Chain A
């Protein structure tokens, strides 16, 4: 079975319990959730919830139908991977104890358009946004310096152009 990664964008009622209900439904129906982001949407009272999930097509179809059954879920879209814009925010704290570390890190930050948001004796903290793959590469480069902490939001997504 092909376990493809899907980005599902839903419009849900913005009230307590909805996230729990949606997450537990996905879990119950055998879907692994890689990430969830939730925030307000263009419609007042409705939130946009974006998941990245892995599972086979038949299970995905069933999950989307089951999600439709939740009274609090208003709209669901399985975003076409060819037309999806995915962005994620990542905060990362890196060790600067080694000599020259700091300048090298700042160089990388420049390339990845990361912003330095905090500096102290031993650490530098940066924020970077972009699609998840870009963030992965940035973190890979930082690894040798010693990463102290990573906080990632998981991607949120929207369809390109008229899609």
Chain B
């Protein structure tokens, strides 16, 4: 057995069924060995998409995603994907080829110091010098990537190490004396937290991506019920509780729901779980939760107190800590419910408007039709831009791991390849990618991948012919000076998809999105739906640097639709 065989065997021993990659000079030995193996390899059309697909695979399945590329440009093409996984704490293993060891440092052909380049965006990295270490390095990399605060690990394998014969295949471990994540909460802190939550009159729960990673969905809900607290989530926490549930306030933040943004500052006790208080979530920190005591549960101690001052820190895994907390509270749950009641009322009176019959289609209406065409089990990925925020704001997600979006890095081009990875990981679930015209063009070559491997991903593209998110900022904050945000001569996306052998339709009318998506998702067919949407419809936001209750734009309510219909009736219209 040689080094490359050892990579394959170790990956398979760790339960990997599929990797995403792209060959090149320094990984030819690996690919030669792959040729005879049972490990499934998906040849993407750009390495960045290998990393995004591996992340989509990881986030949909809860397993570790694996991508592989050659040295030099192959490795640097992975960088965006690795950074994305780092920011969103996704368990990812990136394997790169490296020039032969005796050339390292000589600026050899296609040599880059990928370990150095990715140091700030990986949890850890290895460069095996001896093929005998490969199994243990892979084993330990899985451990590091998928425990504690999850994240990417890079393994940079010099070419000759891939070819070196092993003496023995031993799936051991590499000692990591400096790595010991705390998973269980300190019991004294837990008792204090329980007391604080019971004493609070207006407790509020903010759940982030950490709750999804730890699989704490039942616990979050149970706890909220015990203390009668509403639950808002970050973008990354979407789906931790059913957003249709009364307890759920939806997403908080720059483009968050009114009920979440306008009520969080009333809380006297915020329980934050597995979130990192990013500026997009909190707005100006001086104006965030001014009257609240803060309890912060996170597996990463560095996140506690980083942005928001914390009264009670609890380091540990969300699911484990919440179970400890639930035990503490079960005997005597809260008997106060006036606060929660008032929030639920607020929610019911501010249901965001999604029904419109305008042409061009309003994005809200498109999201409504998407909502009507998916089930609780459909995996929705998004790209980055306005369409992402429309989806995050208006699309209710019912289960964890069903909403996969680029949060921390905000990477255009993420949504489509992430959907590919999700579909590969969960072939029995329908997968829908909601993308914008700009971001989709960054990765449209992957249409070849879904054709080649028959990966039936459904793509709903909200086409406004603009870099809409930037266009909105220019509209609201830069005096309508639309510098470089018009997509001008966009391709005929229908023809583009068809040239790859992928079905495509253009949609311009009300009702059609729902009809086409429902059918495609049910029939498990790949399709690109190019939906023409209104470019001048903007999503309410707080300005960057503004407080959570500063509002640019206005909230509109579904109840207004009924009213306007009623008044039409009164005037004898229709």
Q: Which residues of A contact B (CB under 8 A)?
A: 12-13, 17, 20-21, 24-25, 28, 46, 61-62, 65-66, 68-75
Q: Which residues of A contact B116 (CB under 8 A)?
A: 17, 20
Given contact pairs A17-B125, A71-B123, A72-B124, enumerate 6 new A-B contacts (beta carbons under 8 Å).
A62-B306, A68-B302, A69-B300, A71-B179, A73-B178, A75-B178
Return the 5 tightest CB-CB contacts between A and B, nearest first.
Answer: A65-B302, A74-B178, A71-B124, A71-B179, A74-B177
Q: Which residues of B contact A69 (CB under 8 A)?
A: 123, 149, 300, 302
Is B491 in contact with chain A by the CB < 8 A criterion? no
Q: Which residues of B contact A66 (CB under 8 A)?
A: 302
* A71–B144 touching, CB < 8 Å: yes
* A71–B176 touching, CB < 8 Å: yes
Q: Which of B123, B125, B177, B300 has the most CB of A within 10 A?
A: B177
Q: When chains A and B are docked, how far (Å) is the Cα of A111 from the Cα of B69? A: 63
Task: Flag B107-134 by CB within 8 Å of A: 1 or 0 each.
Answer: 0000000011001100111000000000
* B178–A24 touching, CB < 8 Å: no
Closest to B153 in A: A71
Which single member of B149, B178, B301, B305 contacts A13 (CB below 8 Å)? B178
* A70–B178 touching, CB < 8 Å: yes
* B301–A68 touching, CB < 8 Å: yes
Q: When chains A and B are docked, how far (Å) is the Cα of A13 from the Cα of B126? A: 13
Q: When chains A and B are docked, how far (Å) is the Cα of A24 from the Cα of B305? A: 22
Q: Which residues of A contact B115 (CB under 8 A)?
A: 17
Q: Which of A13, A69, A70, A75 has the most CB of B within 10 A?
A: A69
6 A-B pairs whose Cβ atoms sit less than 8 Å apart in the complex = A13-B178, A61-B305, A62-B302, A62-B306, A71-B144, A75-B178
Which single member of A20, A25, A61, A72 contacts B178 (CB below 8 Å)? A72
Q: When chains A and B are docked, how far (Å) is the Cα of A46 from the Cα of B124? A: 17
Nearest Cβ distance between residue A91 and chain B, in whole angstroms?
30
* A24–B119 touching, CB < 8 Å: yes
Nearest Cβ distance between residue B537 and chain A, in whole angstroms?
39
Q: When chains A and B are docked, how far (Å) is the Cα of A142 from the Cα of B144? A: 53
Q: Which residues of A contact B302 (CB under 8 A)?
A: 62, 65-66, 68-69
Q: Which residues of A contact B144 (CB under 8 A)?
A: 71
Q: When chains A and B are docked, how far (Å) is the Cα of A93 from the Cα of B179? A: 45
Q: Which of B125, B178, B300, B305 has the most CB of A within 10 A?
A: B178
Q: When chains A and B are docked, how far (Å) is the Cα of A70 from the Cα of B124? A: 7
Q: When chains A and B are docked, how far (Å) is the Cα of A105 from the Cα of B119? A: 48
Q: Which residues of A contact B178 (CB under 8 A)?
A: 12-13, 70-75
Q: Which residues of A contact B176 (CB under 8 A)?
A: 71
Q: Which residues of B contact A68 (CB under 8 A)?
A: 301-302
Q: When chains A and B are docked, how far (Å) is the Cα of A24 from the Cα of B116? A: 10
Task: Flag B121-165 by CB within 8 Å of A: 1 or 0 each.
Answer: 001110000000000000000001000010000000000000000
Q: When chains A and B are docked, how far (Å) is the Cα of A73 from the Cα of B176? A: 9
Q: When chains A and B are docked, how far (Å) is the Cα of A66 from the Cα of B178? A: 12
Q: When chains A and B are docked, how far (Å) is the Cα of A17 from the Cα of B120? A: 12
Closest to A74 in B: B178
Closest to A66 in B: B302
* B305–A21 touching, CB < 8 Å: no
Q: When chains A and B are docked, how far (Å) is the Cα of A62 from the Cα of B301? A: 9
Q: Which residues of B contact A25 (CB under 8 A)?
A: 120
Q: Which residues of B contact A17 (CB under 8 A)?
A: 115-116, 119, 125
Q: When chains A and B are docked, how far (Å) is the Cα of A28 from the Cα of B119? A: 11
Closest to A28 in B: B120
Q: When chains A and B are docked, how far (Å) is the Cα of A96 from the Cα of B257? A: 77
Q: Which residues of B contact A12 (CB under 8 A)?
A: 178
Q: Which residues of A contact B124 (CB under 8 A)?
A: 71-72
Closest to A76 in B: B178
Q: Which residues of B contact A73 (CB under 8 A)?
A: 178
Nearest Cβ distance between residue B296 and chain A, in whole angstroms?
13
